[in-house]
Amino acid sequence: VDSTGSSLRGFGSLDLKQHWFLADGSVEAGDEQKLWQIPLLPGSTSGALAVSSQPELFQSSQGRWTAPSGAAWLKLNFGQVAPYRVLYASAELRSALVAAVRSGEMGAKDRIGLLLDSMALARQGSLPSSEVVSLISAFRGEVREVIKLYYSRLLGTPKTTTTIKTTTTRKTSCTLQQRGL
């Protein structure tokens, strides 16, 4: 789902469109005809922003959706429960999400989901790699171990800090550290 938004505080409405996503960016005849019933599952600082007990479904190739008001940031697929990627096409939306990651307002599942989506979309060519770098910088100082684990696996860095102490013949000590996050 691609989302473009306006008026950050309250968001107003978002222009949405759906299309078939393949990680390698390949396209086959008929891909543009494929449509799904995608649960939007919006969420923000205060949690899920459900307007009813049933999730709102996006069922067309493109359309406009009125977002709930009063949120500093908005994430679709809140809780990462549906199997789809979200491309936040608006710099304003991406900036608000990066701020939510940096401040720790966004829950662990959603921080991981945002990172996974961004990395996949950048690899596929839909998102500039500079946007991924901006998001990654928001994880600096992350304290949750599960986030560090996913972050490390995605970036190919060690997940833990390993300290090895060695003693030389002069009885002096040297500490070598392999640093993850």
Residue 110: its pLDDT value, please?
Answer: 93
Residue 85: its pLDDT value, please?
Answer: 92
The domain that holds 68 is classified in CATH as 2.60.40.1910
Q: What is the mean pLDDT of the chain?
A: 76
Q: Give the Cα separation of 148 and 78 in Å (integer).
A: 20
Domain membership flag for residue 160 = no
Domain membership flag for residue 163 = no
Domain membership flag for residue 159 = no
Sheet strands side by side (includes 62-66): 62-66, 13-17, 2-5, 87-88
Do 82 and 40 touch, CB atoms closer than 8 A? no
pLDDT band of 71, cuts 50, 70, 90: confident
**Residue 82 DSSP symbol:** S
> Residue 99 pLDDT more than 60?
yes
Domain membership flag for residue 181 = no
The owner of tokens 């908005």 is: 74
Which residue range(s) make up the domain with 61? Answer: 2-140
Burial class (CB in 10 A: 0-12, 13-18, 19+), 151: buried
Domain membership flag for residue 50 = yes
pTM: 0.74
Domain membership flag for residue 161 = no
Tokens describing residue 18: 């759906």
Q: Give the Cα separation of 68 and 71 in Å (integer).
A: 8
Residue 181: its pLDDT value, please?
Answer: 36
Q: At what angle do helices 145-155 and 108-124 cross, to 10 degrees?
A: 10
Q: Give the Cα separation of 65 and 11 in Å (integer).
A: 10
pLDDT tens for residues 11-57?
Answer: 678 899 998 888 788 888 988 888 889 999 888 886 667 555 678 89
pLDDT tens for residues 45-67?
Answer: 866 675 556 788 999 999 998 88
Domain membership flag for residue 165 = no
The owner of tokens 């008929």 is: 30
- Which of 18-22, 101-105, 124-128 is predicted with the least confidence, judged by mean pLDDT? 18-22
pLDDT band of 165, cuts 50, 70, 90: very low
SS3 of residue 28 by DSSP: coil
- Which of 108-112, 125-129, 168-172 is predicted with the least confidence, judged by mean pLDDT? 168-172
pLDDT tens for residues 136-162?
Answer: 888 887 776 666 666 666 666 544 443
Into how many domains does the chain fold?
Answer: 1
Domain membership flag for residue 168 = no
